[in-house]
């Protein structure tokens, strides 16, 4: 190891195994929280043969490759989502440490991003955003802004309130205009959480990115006859993706846009 390795470099290297381990735990949350199962008991087991998974078969990414994606006992395939969630979380952790350095803000953002990953995959599977993953996280975001002033506490509180109000208004409007449910209470909590962590400017950026990408993808899938107009597409994953884009490039994008209109 070179003697010149900086503390930042070391943190970036360590963020990868940390992200893999947290991603492995998020896989447990994604499977168990919507099924009202305990996160601690029983230990990891194969959903096919119910056999316990030993620690050496439960190492994120490594075990999946080593076992060639199959259970050691019954050879049932392990869902590709497990390594995907682990790799995705590790990638987000690395980006956050590289972008925000070793700061208190980074610690809060790692929690925020982990929750977004869990919400995304639960919403895709069950079309719900559990309250336990959104409501208690909102005050944590506000505490983070008090400690770091990034975003300033006033922007974080406004962000949470406008975020909740915005989804609520869109949901009421859609129900009156199209006689159908478009967004649910889970989306209200989720955008409030995004506002608490990112402030109102980046929250709006995340919301409009989500609406745009959601509309383009939905119309594309309907045109390709993969989906029909009656299918319900969860909005949570688009909000989560919008929040991640807003976090890393939102400020630069807003500044660039403002320089054009000025
Ligand atoms: Zn098995």
Residues 156-165 have pLDDT tens digits of 999 999 999 9
Cα 124 to ligand 1 centre (Å) = 25
Cα 36 to ligand 1 centre (Å) = 22
> What count of other Cβ atoms lies within 10 Å of the Cβ of residue 92?
24
Cα 77 to ligand 1 centre (Å) = 8
Poorest-pLDDT segment among 59-73, 133-147, 186-200: 59-73
Stronger pLDDT, 41 or 241, i.e. the higher one: 241
Cα 45 to ligand 1 centre (Å) = 8
Poorest-pLDDT segment among 26-30, 40-44, 77-81: 40-44
Residue 189 token pair: 């909590």
Average pLDDT, the chain: 92
> Which pLDDT does position 229 carry in this prediction?
77
Cα 119 to ligand 1 centre (Å) = 26
Cα 78 to ligand 1 centre (Å) = 9
Stronger pLDDT, 229 or 50, i.e. the higher one: 50
Q: Is the pLDDT of residue 142 over 70?
A: yes
Cα 122 to ligand 1 centre (Å) = 23
**Torsions phi, psi of 211, nearest 5?**
-65, -45
Rounded to an integer, the average pLDDT of 123-137 is 93
* Residues near ligand 1 ion, CB 5 Å cutoff: 46, 48-49, 71, 73-74, 76
Nearest to 98 by CA among 198, 252, 247: 247
Helix (H, G, I), strand (E, B) or coil at 209: helix
> Which pLDDT does position 182 carry in this prediction?
64
Who contacts 174 (Cβ-Cβ below 8 Å, separation ≥6)?
Answer: 180, 181, 182, 183
Cα 129 to ligand 1 centre (Å) = 29
Q: Is the pLDDT of residue 59 over 60?
A: yes
> Which pLDDT does position 3 carry in this prediction?
63
Cα 30 to ligand 1 centre (Å) = 19
Q: Are 114 and 122 in contact (CB under 8 A)?
A: no
> Which pLDDT does position 1 carry in this prediction?
53
Rounded to an integer, the average pLDDT of 97-110 is 96
Share of residues in the chain with pLDDT > 90 (%): 72
Q: The tokens 């199959």 sit on which residue?
A: 70
Q: Name the H helices within the chain.
A: 7-32, 62-66, 81-100, 104-126, 137-148, 153-178, 185-223, 236-245, 251-261
């Amino acid at each position: 190891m070179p003697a010149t390795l900086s503390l930042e470099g070391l943190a970036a290297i360590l963020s990868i195994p940390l992200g893999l381990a947290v991603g492995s735990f998020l896989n447990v949350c994604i499977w168990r929280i919507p099924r009202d199962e305990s996160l601690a008991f029983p230990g990891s087991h194969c959903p096919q043969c119910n056999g316990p998974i030993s620690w050496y078969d439960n190492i994120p990414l490594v075990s999946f490759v080593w076992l060639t994606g199959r259970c050691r006992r019954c050879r049932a395939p392990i869902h590709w989502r497990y390594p995907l969630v682990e790799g995705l979380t590790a990638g987000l952790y690395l980006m956050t440490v590289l972008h925000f350095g070793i700061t208190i803000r980074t610690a809060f953002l790692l929690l925020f991003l982990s929750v977004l990953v869990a919400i995304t995959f639960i919403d895709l599977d069950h079309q719900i955003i559990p309250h336990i993953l959104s409501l208690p996280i909102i005050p944590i975001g506000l505490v983070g802004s008090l400690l770091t002033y990034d975003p300033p506490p006033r922007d974080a509180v406004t962000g949470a309130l406008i975020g909740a109000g915005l989804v609520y208004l869109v949901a009421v409007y859609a129900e009156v205009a199209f006689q159908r449910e478009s967004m649910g209470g889970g989306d209200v909590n989720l955008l409030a959480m995004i506002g608490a962590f990112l402030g109102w400017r980046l929250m709006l950026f995340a919301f409009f990115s989500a609406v745009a990408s959601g509309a383009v993808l939905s119309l594309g899938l309907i045109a390709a006859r993969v989906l029909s107009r009656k299918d319900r597409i969860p909005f949570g994953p688009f909000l989560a993706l919008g929040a991640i884009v807003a976090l890393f490039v939102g400020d630069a994008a807003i500044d660039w846009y403002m320089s054009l209109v000025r």
